[in-house]
Amino acid sequence: MYFAIITQAISAILTILIIGQQGYTGGINGITDLRTLLGWDIRTDSARYILYFINAVLLMLVVSAGYFIVNSKLGRLMVAIRDKEDRVRFSGYDVANIKTVVFCISALFSAIGGAMFTLQVGFMSPGFIGTVASIEMVVFCAVGGRGSLLGAVYGALIVNAAKSSISESFPELWTIAMGLLFIAVVLIFPKGLAGLYQQYIHPIVMSLLRKKSMTKPRVNTGVLK
């Protein structure tokens, strides 16, 4: 909890510094009208399509890397720390170092996403690194499912789609709606959409597949038994 509070404090400090150094950072407006990257015009239609393709490839690579980490020894240690941190410490592992590695990996993934987002939209302002943006990331995972990597992707798509539709008509209500959504998710389905799938949809799909395999006609090979 203290680590999360310190992280939010650092985020707030960086926001204040960026706004204060207007001559270097653009102040409250941030980086605006970003048109070129190493001489490449990123505002053309062809460049946008290329960036979308790059984003899709990077998303698949990041999710694949996430699955690799989760199924590795580091991933098993992460689960053990989540469930019984003291037991991991008593087993001789340095819990602080493991948490630091996980934090650095998550920061790397976030940096990739932030860089590609800036290139895609063409600007970056201090509002994207504030407290609200950090809370949105938590809501993404909560809606999609905290125990699922793909759940975080689905959660980001759903929440951002809702944000676009709500903020266009009622821009002042989006923050309130996001908070209510987070409370509803925690109270009604704490495991998110991934948990709903595992609890309700997955058993139905498996049952239908079993029935289909049982009703499949057998092929007569002509061999007498």
Provide the number of structural domains found in the chain: 3
Does the pTM surpass 0.75? The reply is no
Residue 225 lies in a domain: no
The 10s digit of each residue's pLDDT in 152-203 is 888 888 888 888 887 777 777 777 887 887 888 878 877 888 777 777 777 7
125 and 137, same structural domain? no
The last residue of a domain, from among 129, 148, 177: 129
190: which DSSP letter? T
- pLDDT at 225 > cutoff 60: no
pLDDT of residue 57: 93
125 and 98, same structural domain? yes
Q: Which residues partner with 41 through β-bridges?
A: 36
pLDDT of residue 58: 92
pLDDT of residue 216: 58
C-alpha span between 169 and 162 (Å, rounded): 11
Angle (CA) 190 192 195, round 5° = 95
DSSP symbols for 59-80 = HHHHHHHHHHHHTSHHHHHHHH
89 and 42, same structural domain? yes
Question: Could you tell me the pLDDT band of residue 64, with boundaries at 50, 70 and 90?
Answer: very high
Q: Are 193 and 145 in contact (CB under 8 A)?
A: yes
Q: Residue with structure tokens 């676009």?
A: 164
40 and 121, same structural domain? yes
149 and 100, same structural domain? no
The last residue of a domain, from among 79, 98, 129: 129
Residue 223 lies in a domain: no
152 and 124, same structural domain? no
For the chain, what's the residue count?
Answer: 225
The last residue of a domain, from among 86, 101, 129: 129
Percentage helix, strand, coil for the chain under 3-state DSSP, each rounded to 5: 80, 5, 20
C-alpha span between 35 and 118 (Å, rounded): 11
Q: Domain of residue 171: give its range.
A: 131-210
38: which DSSP letter? T
The 10s digit of each residue's pLDDT in 81-99 is 988 888 999 988 999 899 8
44 and 105, same structural domain? yes
136 and 189, same structural domain? yes
87 and 37, same structural domain? yes
110 and 179, same structural domain? no
105 and 122, same structural domain? yes
Q: Are 169 and 155 in contact (CB under 8 A)?
A: no
Question: Could you tell me the pLDDT band of residue 223, with boundaries at 50, 70 and 90?
Answer: low
Residue 70 lies in a domain: yes
Residue 50 lies in a domain: yes
- Which residues, at least 6 apart from 203, have a Cβ–Cβ distance to it below 8 Å? none
Distant-in-sequence contacts of 177-184, Cβ < 8 A, 24+ apart? 178/135, 178/136, 178/139, 181/139, 181/143, 182/135, 182/138, 182/139, 182/142
Question: Could you tell me the pLDDT band of residue 72, with boundaries at 50, 70 and 90?
Answer: very high
Residue 198 lies in a domain: yes
Residue 38 lies in a domain: yes
Residue 174 lies in a domain: yes
118 and 180, same structural domain? no
Q: Are 195 and 189 in contact (CB under 8 A)?
A: yes
Residue 124 lies in a domain: yes
Query: Mean pLDDT across the stretch 89-113?
Result: 89
pLDDT of residue 222: 53
